[in-house]
Structure 1
């Protein structure tokens, strides 16, 4: 607990996460969203305890029940290793799936899921092989009792066949939690250990005795995995249909309006260059106007839109993924991104213009006539500019530059999947520190 308080204290200026009592809320929407995400996980943990109690009770009813129960204890300890590693992988990618799904970046959802399933396949097969080859050695780590080791080794060889199904089941369940399908996640949790395991325990005990109980976990997780895979396939098809039905990216109108999209490093003068280019060409330059339109359409405060419309909450990908996600899989940042995309597309449709920042170069990449520009400069030139022009404090300006650029880079890569500031992604890159503001504006104007 102290560790997490320390982390919160360190990141408090760069995150929306808060433990301030003033932020405490019992609003229905807030409480429901929280419980909807957490309840399936809570039920899963509870049912693990119930399943252990059920199996232990049945084993104790057989001859040599104490040895059987001890052997099961050793097996379950070994199983905990596999269980927690698979859960760690599955829960670790939940935020990545959540923000990609919330931003309607279905390609990235597929990539994250695909990689995770591959990792879990490799891990579970490797774990299965190790247990099959050396169960006595593993059991000996937990107990010196020879008879218990012998029974536990047999138990492990049967039990370990559950690892593949269990690992993949945990991944499927995490996907449903991440995308807000909490009812499906809850259904799977209850079905696996609350119904399938309990019913099979009594049935297999009645039919095959101790041997049946040794195999019950493997059969349960295999059946649960198949059911989860079917539900996941249905979900995947619905996502494919949603992506197919989504409106195609807006291309430039037939009039071939030319739009100039300017991305820039903090302190490079990109905003000033954009305004000068627009003035020279007699076309509008959209910057603060975008903030006002997004604020009006979404209800977000202008200050929030200005701060997070092109800068991530953190320069850390994982922190961004965890920021304020609701049961529909979207965070406030996702909703802001979607609104921003719509506003920028509408402005480009209206006619020729200059748009500064906010990933406009990526949003308008399908436009027939969009000139994408990246403005950069040396740290020394930019530090000098933010002090003299922006009125920033003179202490540690280089640190301020790095902080802003990291968050812009993180935001860009988070929502576009491409590298911010990489020359291949732009039609032209200009060094305003070498060329000067006026020359950069002149070059861009001549290319219009």
Structure 2
């Protein structure tokens, strides 16, 4: 099979990039040939004889909007000239103007635009307006991209429902949840002292962007007031964050530990007792699976994509991200019963073991092979249409 993957980055250290990296590795393992349309790829992929990297440079342009549009246009130009040399084209969301066979959806901009914590509702300035325009254009664009794909992959059941809500037929949607590195993220013993964490206390972990309210650290801090025996480690860049001041105003300075952005998150997860992450909007955050793989009980919310993985045996899923009392009660129920935390942690690891990167990548490539096999028995030589266009809000760009 001659497979083409179109995305900005294909490498570790980037959520969407890591998914595509693992899919590429599995396709290579099975002997398939890859064309990668990307700005960056991992060195080991670049050096592989089965990989043809078509680099699409966009670095240096001033805004993400401009960089993304240039990538979309350049990738579509290449596909228009070379599509008939490929068996299947996989893209990610509204990443290219070209129509594709498979579109893997990691984020639904239409849903994000309606969120009460969208940046445009928090910042009434030029940056807020830019974020509104960025999201609105992507929402318009992605609807057409999803409709033109033969199969649309949702990274969680939440994303699948969001796709249905914007008119994507449920029959075209496959759910493939993101994966996790079961070796990197695993239960174990580490020194809290070496990590700069408090010893001899029950310690919860929150990890994510703490510059905006989207991840919902504010509700976690307010709930913590009602759980006096619990400490909280917060991983995330505190620069320009309002939450250190909020913690201080709530009298939590001694119990909330802002440890900054960290690359040793796997060790930190081994050092804490539970993970709390009732985000107000996520598609399928990797950190949730990483916590499960680390053997941590998880408290999250239905608005957090991937929450369907958290069973009653391994955690608690709150119906309302902003329910302070419910979150307080959930935290108290675990803090008061250390044996329950241990049982949930063991169950969490079991759940994660069904969602390794290898399992995820195999599911993707199985789907590609299934589509190709079906197409070989049909009258059409290619899955994608040989002509067509995706119309942008400010005009039409030819694709394929």
The alignment's TM-score, normalised by the length of structure 1, stands at 0.27
Structure that is richer in helix per residue: 1
Which structure has the bigger radius of gyration? 1
